[in-house]
Amino acid sequence: MKQLIAVIGGDARYLELIRQLQATRHIELILVGYDKLEQGFTGLNQTDFSDLDVENLDIVILPITGTDEEGRVETVFSDQEIQMTEEWFGRLKDKAVVFTGITNHHLTDLTMKTNTTLIPLLDRDDVAIYNSIPTAEGAIMMAIENTDYTIHSSRVIVAGFGRVGNTVANKFAALGARVSVATKNSTDLARISEMGLTPIALNKLPEYTSECDLLINTIPAEVITKDAIQNLPSNAVIIDLASKPGGTDFDYAKQRGIEAILARSLPSIVAPKTAGKILADVIIQILTKEKELLGWI
């Protein structure tokens, strides 16, 4: 039996997601919020939000950004205003599942109240690791664009060894940079050393920044402090990949004349197609292999 999936809103990344779902068997797709798309999809149902046959949907896919605090959904390819309400979620069948990129209090609350299964994809480790690849490539692009030296042979310090920090450290090392990684975690420090990189205890970071051309932060906390920035060479560049507002004292960097860039949403900028495919792959995997997650088993 076919699963009826409604994709409600989304940006360039969702074009690839839709393409991938379209090529998957046992799925019937309905698109909402793609009416202004120049090169539309052929053979796909498009409808207005108000005309959706909500009671028959098996799966709802919301944008990566989820909803705002009023339940409104971002529609890049449409002028439709779409607002998700408790009443709307209440009309879904019991076993319907809602995918979103990220969630917020409002969306979590709406789905809790209506007993709807909500899966925030970006909370998953696998999605975060796949997404760290375009993020790291974006950081590479920014490093090449914003310095007058090669990544090869340059002295790179990566702050953080989570899902993004690990990938970034790997990629820069693969390009021949001399990579150090700063983290608190002693297990991670051992792993960093095993990888042939230089481990730095995070609280000692300022002692190492005098020998650093590129400082890349991945920690969503104030770790690139005044002390750390003070010791950087004047032509060093800071790339902050942590979610807004980043972990850098941007004011002090500016004061010292050090270029510091807060990079936002690199996967959607450098590789929307790959970013869409990552989400599609995970959704398809969940639909076919992780049915217990959906409450279907």
Residue with smaller CB distance to its own copies, 257 or 292:
257
- With respect to its own copies, which residue has the nearer C-beta, 19 or 226? 19
Q: How far apart are CA 215 and CA 237, in angstroms?
A: 6
Q: Say how far apart CA 267 and CA 134 lie, in whole Å.
A: 5
Nearer to its own copies, 92 or 171 (CB): 171
Distances (CA, A) of 227 to 165, 207, 234, 272, 278: 21, 9, 14, 37, 38
From residue 66, give the alpha-carbon distance in Å to each of 3, 8, 130, 279.
22, 10, 19, 14
The C-alpha atoms of residue 284 and residue 286 are separated, in whole angstroms, by 5
Task: Find the shortest distance in angstroms from Cβ 79 to its own copies.
Answer: 24
Min separation Cβ 271 and its own copies, Å: 5
CA dist., res. 129 & res. 127, Å (int): 5
Angle at 89 between CA 88 and CA 91, to 5 degrees: 70
Q: How far is the CB of 148 from its own copies (least distance, A)?
A: 4
What is the nearest approach in angstroms of its own copies to the Cβ of residue 137? 5
Q: Interface residues with its own copies (CB under 8 A)? A: 12, 133-134, 137-138, 140-141, 144-145, 147-153, 171, 174-176, 270-274, 277
Could you tell me the sign of the dihedral formed by the alpha carbons of 144, 146, 148, 154, in that order? negative
Q: How far is the CB of 210 from its own copies (least distance, A)?
A: 19
